[in-house]
Structure 1
Amino acid sequence: MKLRLFEQKRVRVKRTLTIAVVTALSAITSVSCSNNKDVLVTEIGVTPPSRRVATTSQAGRLYIQGQSQHVKGDSTGAIASYTKAINLNPKYSAAYKGRGLAYFDLGDKQKAIADYNEAIRLTPNDVEAYNSRGNARAALGDNRGAISDYNEAVRLSPNYAEAYNNRANARSAQGDKKGAIEDYNQAILLDPKSAIAYNNRGNTRAAQGDKQGAIQDYTEAIRLNRNFGPAYNNRGNARAAQGDKQGAIQDLQQAAAIFQSQNNNDLYQQVMNNIKELN
């Protein structure tokens, strides 16, 4: 009994968004007892506003305003602010990148890619722009293009754990489980506290039939982040596959409580349906 969501993008601030990212596995859809459906997670960073940006210019002030709006969940307002900054300074690569993230949040992946393209043209060594464009390409099902971008991000910054995690997601979506595991291992080596990387490696191990290894990874993800709903959900799935009905229900109940506390009613209801089927 498995619940397939899709990649949950966690903005590195105090808010959480759930989005469909890698369409090769399908978007949030259904509950099934026969398919392997787990929660895959990726991070895309929205940097909190910094006053170190050149606030002496109007474009700089608008950029900071856009960051603040995005952090607060106002993607439409952020886009308007970034656009004004770009109009004042057409070579403002950070504003293109910020606007791309806001477009991504609103679901317009093509406009996001167009902005990342411009950011990369203006700043060819922008690692985050390559990583973000890779995520947008993956969201459109272009895993090959996504991997190309993640490769470039890793080449430019070999210690960029997030790019390894995201490349692993794309490799897993393409069926390259071995390559995915290698990338998750590297992401964990670089960032041992990454609950996301442990969760995703657990998914790949489960897909390989290594249920116990998957449970170990989900358990570590939970140890690192006690409020990480996807890991509880996924561990519940793995325990159910092992015949541990009681353990599965406990994990799914915890996942449901977390999703409910986050006001994520869709995921809460789907987990509750899983629990009913188990019972």
Structure 2
Amino acid sequence: MKLRLFEQEQVKVKRILTIAVVTALSAITSVSCSQNKDVLVTEIGISPPNSRIAQTSAAGNLYVQAKNQHLRGDLQGAIATYTKVIDVDSDYAPAYQSRGLAYFDAGDKQRAIADYNQAINLSPNDAEAYNSRGNALASLGDNQRAITDYNEAIRLSPSYAEAYNNRGNARAAQGDNNGALNDFNQAISLDSRYAIAYNNRGNARAAQGDAQGAIADYNQAIRLNSNFGPAYNNRGNARAAQGDKEGAIQDLQQAAGIFQAQNSNDLYKQVMNNIREIGQ
């Protein structure tokens, strides 16, 4: 089984959710070793709260509390506190955006989208909210609507590297590898240390048959983040495609160790299956 890992970033990364999808990334499905699969690895999280917010209002004080709960991984507590913020001030747009992230993190995509909708209604120039809603739509396989949201995020914030990266993933999901490559190039031009975008550009290059170019991108992703499991996994696949069995197994073993340490058990098992198949 060849398992290629894409990454899609939403705000600042704290945890990883994995969604197994078919090769075109167009529908959620289970992973089977009987055919090639790609896995979209959606990283989501929140940035630390600004303590100055607490000085502005009762709602702001609650908002800081909720963000700290979210950062600690207390999703239900964070959702409850974000809801209190909204009860105190129903026009507090950041609370809807952040509660949407918490719902997404908890796996409730529909409620996440509802909150992003409200955040956008209250703050129509919030590029982050469009990017977040795009990620939720993409995770549900609605890549065309996701691209529409990423387009709006980029229109509002032309230097928004994450939105280019995410639109690249959605375009790759639709089979538009040239469009995806252009987006990953743009993300990298905006942020030369964007390891996720290098990883994803490597996948786009691999899909076009450019194994050497793909490996160069995976190398750069690993140089930027030596604990980047998906890049080791993908470089292992590329090396296997070139007949470098020993190098492939070394990379896949490195990826497996990282996924195990991160408690990403499904990815760990899938990579171990891949190692066994290559070793046969």
Give the conservation status (yes or no) of the 8 Å contact 2:5–2:234: no
Give the conservation status (yes or no) of the 8 Å contact 1:4–1:39: yes
Aligned to 2:118: 118
Aligned to 2:32: 30
Please state how far the C-alpha of 1:75 moved relative to its aligned partner: 1.2
The within-5 A match list for 1:120-159 is: 120-159=120-159
Aligned to 2:256: 256
**Paired letter, 1:30:** S
Name which of structure 1's ranges 80-89 and 107-116 shifts more when overlaid on structure 2.
107-116
Distance 1:243 1:259 in 2: 25
Distance 2:9 2:161 in 1: 15
**Paired letter, 1:236:** G
Q: Which has the higher strand share?
A: 2
Q: Secondary structure at the match of 1:31?
A: coil
Aligned to 1:61: 61
Distance 2:8 2:164 in 1: 16
Establish whether residue 94 from structure 1 lines up as the match of residue 87 from structure 2. no
Identify unmatched segments of 5+ residues in structure 2: none
Q: Secondary structure at the match of 2:15?
A: coil
C-alpha distance after superposition, 1:185-213 (max 9, x if no partner): 00000011011000011111111111111
Aligned to 1:242: 242
Establish whether residue 222 from structure 1 lines up as the match of residue 217 from structure 2. no
CA pair 8-260 structure 1, distance change in 2 beyond 3 A: farther
Distance 1:40 1:21 in 2: 7
Distance 2:29 2:186 in 1: 27
Identity, % of aligned positions = 70
Distance 2:116 2:189 in 1: 28
**Paired letter, 1:165:** N
Distance 1:45 1:210 in 2: 33
C-alpha distance after superposition, 1:65-87 (max 9, x if no partner): 11011111111111100000000
Give the conservation status (yes or no) of the 8 Å contact 2:177–2:204: yes
Please state how far the C-alpha of 1:31 moved relative to its aligned partner: 3.0
Distance 2:4 2:181 in 1: 20
Please state how far the C-alpha of 1:30 moved relative to its aligned partner: 2.7
C-alpha distance after superposition, 1:155-190 (max 9, x if no partner): 011000000000000011011111110000000000
Please state how far the C-alpha of 1:223 moved relative to its aligned partner: 0.6
Please state how far the C-alpha of 1:26 moved relative to its aligned partner: 3.9
TM-score (norm. length: structure 2):
0.92
Q: Runs of 4+ in structure 1 displaced over 3 angstroms?
A: 4-11, 25-28, 37-45
Distance 2:30 2:105 in 1: 16
Give the conservation status (yes or no) of the 8 Å contact 1:232–1:255: yes
Distance 2:11 2:237 in 1: 26
Give the conservation status (yes or no) of the 8 Å contact 2:49–2:68: yes
Aligned to 1:12: 12
Name which of structure 1's ranges 38-47 and 254-263 shifts more when overlaid on structure 2.
38-47
Distance 2:39 2:269 in 1: 15
Identify unmatched segments of 5+ residues in structure 1: none
Distance 2:94 2:20 in 1: 23
Give the RMSD, CA atoms, in angstroms: 2.0
Give the conservation status (yes or no) of the 8 Å contact 2:249–2:278: yes
Distance 2:227 2:204 in 1: 22
Alignment coverage as a number of residue pairs: 276
**Paired letter, 1:118:** Q
Distance 1:273 1:120 in 2: 43
**Paired letter, 1:83:** T
Give the conservation status (yes or no) of the 8 Å contact 1:42–1:196: no
CA pair 40-221 structure 1, distance change in 2 beyond 3 A: farther
Distance 1:120 1:11 in 2: 16
**Paired letter, 2:249:** I
Please state how far the C-alpha of 1:53 moved relative to its aligned partner: 0.9
TM-score (norm. length: structure 1):
0.93
Give the conservation status (yes or no) of the 8 Å contact 1:44–1:132: no
